[in-house]
């Protein structure tokens, strides 16, 4: 099982069904959110909205409440009655909790607490996990902190460490890593910088909370013409070569060729 929905994943509150189609149209996939975006009193109606949603199931992710909450069982029952089979599990901490899903589901485990990040490797190794995502604000809250970022917008070291741990755990298990949302909607330059770093580091997608962020993320993940031309040329030059070879003044080996293949895949 794999994750192949595209780079820009847009959250949409499940209690706002009038936004579902528009969100899906604007992004590569929509994350219909039953968790933090929906107040407790609105969760039952949000589940009903899922049942009534007429959306392409191949491009829909449903975020359910954490396994240790009272809402989890009801979320599971509702999703089972829909055609949607990609589920994001909020505040994933225990890989055993993912056994609640049968093998028809593909899971995105959201590691957004200290315990979840600590267990990211075991969570990534679960057979129904296809991707991991991390979250900064819940992580810092789980530590008793107050902010994931410095006043200039940079992540604090604890957030950067968690981001790296989730990326490494995903890669070690051959799963996709999804970068966290950028909460400052107007800070498109900051989002562009973070998304560029995400793709350079190995993330497969970035989640977002507003439609205006979609184009910025897509642009960051799309290789520019010069990079794409380099990748095509170096792979063509590698045809028939054995081991390390020289290309355009640079020594080329298998890791560089893997970088080039990743560029082509995003082109």
Residue from 51, 90, 96 nearest 72 by CA: 90
Task: Give the C-alpha separation, 118 to 248, whole Å.
Answer: 43
- What are the DSSP calls for 173-224, one per residue? TT-EEEEPP---TT-HHHHHHHHHHHHHHT-SEEEESSTHHHHHHHHHHSPP
Residue 99 annotated as binding site: no
Q: Is 184 annotated as a binding residue?
A: no
Rounded to whole angstroms, how far apart are CA atoms 233 and 238?
A: 9
103 assigned ligand-binding residue: no
**Token reading at 191:** 């989002």
Residue with tokens 């604090």: 156
Q: Strand 205-208 to strand 129-134: parallel, antiparallel, or no bridges (unpaired)?
A: unpaired
Residues 6+ away with beta carbon under 8 Å from 260: 230, 231, 234, 235
- Decide if 32 contacts 62 (C-beta within 8 A): yes
Contact between 178 and 201 under an 8 Å Cβ cutoff? The reply is: no
Detail the residues annotated as belonging to a binding site for Mg(2+): 112, 138
Detail the residues annotated as belonging to a binding site: 63, 112, 138
Detail the residues annotated as belonging to a binding site for substrate: 63, 112
């Amino acid at each position: 099982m794999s994750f192949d929905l595209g780079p820009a994943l847009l959250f949409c509150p499940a209690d706002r069904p009038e936004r579902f189609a528009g969100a899906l149209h604007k992004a590569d996939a929509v994350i219909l959110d039953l968790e933090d975006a929906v107040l407790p009193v609105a969760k039952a109606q949000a589940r009903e909205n899922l049942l009534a949603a007429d959306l392409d199931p191949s491009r829909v992710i449903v975020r359910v409440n954490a396994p240790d909450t009272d809402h989890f069982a009801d979320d599971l029952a509702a999703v089972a009655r829909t055609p949607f089979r990609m589920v994001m599990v909020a505040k994933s901490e225990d890989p055993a909790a993912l056994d609640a899903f049968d093998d028809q589901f593909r899971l995105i485990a959201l590691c957004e607490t200290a315990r979840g990040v600590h267990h990211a490797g075991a969570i990534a190794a679960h057979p129904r996990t296809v991707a991991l995502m991390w979250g900064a604000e819940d992580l810092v809250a789980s530590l008793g902190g107050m902010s994931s970022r410095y006043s200039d917008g940079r992540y604090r070291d604890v957030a950067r460490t968690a981001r790296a741990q989730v990326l490494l755990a995903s890669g070690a298990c051959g799963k996709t890593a999804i970068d966290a949302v950028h909460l400052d909607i107007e800070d498109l330059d900051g989002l562009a910088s973070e998304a560029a770093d995400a793709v350079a580091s190995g993330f497969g997608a970035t989640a977002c909370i507003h439609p205006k962020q979609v184009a910025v993320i897509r642009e960051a993940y799309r290789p520019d013409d010069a990079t794409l031309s380099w990748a095509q040329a170096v792979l063509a030059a590698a045809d028939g070569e054995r081991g390390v070879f020289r290309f355009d003044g640079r020594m080329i080996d298998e890791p560089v060729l893997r970088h080039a293949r990743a560029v082509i895949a995003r082109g």
